[in-house]
Amino acid sequence: MAEELLVTAGAGQTRQVVVGSFARFGAATPVMIAGPCSVESERQIHETADAVAAAGAHVLRGGAFKPRTSPYAFQGLGAEGLRYLRSAGRAAGLPVVTEVLDAQDVALVAEHADMLQIGARSMQNFALLRAAGRSGRPVLLKRAAGATVEEWIHAAEYILAEGNDQVVLCERGIRSFEPCTRATLDLAGAAAARQRTSLPVIADPSHATGRRDLVAPMARAAIGAGLDGVIVEVHPDPDRSVSDAAQTISTEDFARLMLSLHLPPRSSDLVHLRDAVDSLDEAIFGLIAQRMALSSHIGDLKRRHGMPVHQPAREEDILRRLAGRGQDHLTPAAVTAIWTAILAASRARQGHAARESR
């Protein structure tokens, strides 16, 4: 009999993984994770965070513990990097994801990050997977460059087996015979993993291609393939990135990629915009109430001078003047509809007052 796995129960019905207050993997809108390969300085991560947040990213990334091929290469700022990342995310209003390399650091990373990343090189570090499963944080599990889809989902099973079902899979390219890209982006494997499990699946076109020029098209391809999001490396000055410069795009290119995706506004944006609309409605309400009060006084004068309440010529003047100023957001037709209603309410008020005074 086939092995029963927690990751494959409810396969095809993607469960939602929530990170921070508004990133929802597995919901209708793809989640966009952006930020530098490494947190390099307080300034660099704040600048990147502000730019990607303004462009509409949902989550900020940045490595503090870096898995480098050479032990002599920059290994990340460690705990200091975690603090910078967290403060940059908070300032920009974004939750943060960062890699944890060692089971011993899980508690520290979980304290600073909203989501833990298990890197490709750690995919079968079973002690780390179990520790991440017990961390209480959602986990982003990258596929190892040499792992089959089956091995990848079994790695996820280690996390679920600890009682944590908040797992997102990330395809980041596999080893092939083709040297023109850093790895080979296996979108079909990612789509297959999504069908085979109930977990959201995203793609990392930066590590998969290793090429800045291929990041945006492969990000669009991943979303076109129905994946639940994308993670991309972004830096304010990509050529100066201390790690993975060749695959890192600029903040401007990230903004262009976001525009090309036509995503709906983030729910946090929606909340802000609705707050702004609510305060405008308050102001409009106050102004209309003032207008009605003035109009009541006018009604008194009309009555005193024996004038009719309804004065069509005056109403037409008002409508013509205001409708003539109609523009893109407030068309002449909309102006006419709104002020026709206001004038009718005024007339009703004046008529009512006239009847009361009789």
Residues in contact with ligand PEP by CB under 6 A are 37, 63, 67, 99, 119-121, 142, 172, 204, 207
Residue placing its CB nearer to Mn ion in the complex, 37 or 187: 37
Residue placing its CB nearer to ligand PEP in the complex, 25 or 335: 25
Q: How many residues bind Mn ion (CB under 5 A)?
A: 2
- Position 37 contacts Mn ion (CB under 5 A): yes
Residue placing its CB nearer to ligand PEP in the complex, 67 or 308: 67
- Position 157 contacts Mn ion (CB under 5 A): no
Distance of closest approach, residue 11 Cβ to Mn ion, in angstroms: 31
Residue placing its CB nearer to ligand PEP in the complex, 39 or 92: 39
- Applying CB under 5 A, the span of 29-37, 178-186, 254-262, 328-336 interacting with Mn ion comes to 29-37
Distance of closest approach, residue 43 Cβ to ligand PEP, in angstroms: 20
Residue 100, contacted partner among Mn ion, ligand PEP, none, CB below 5-8 A by kind: none
Radius of gyration of the chain (CA): 29
Give the nearest residue (CB) to ligand PEP: 119
Note the residues at the interface with Mn ion (CB under 5 A).
Answer: 37, 244
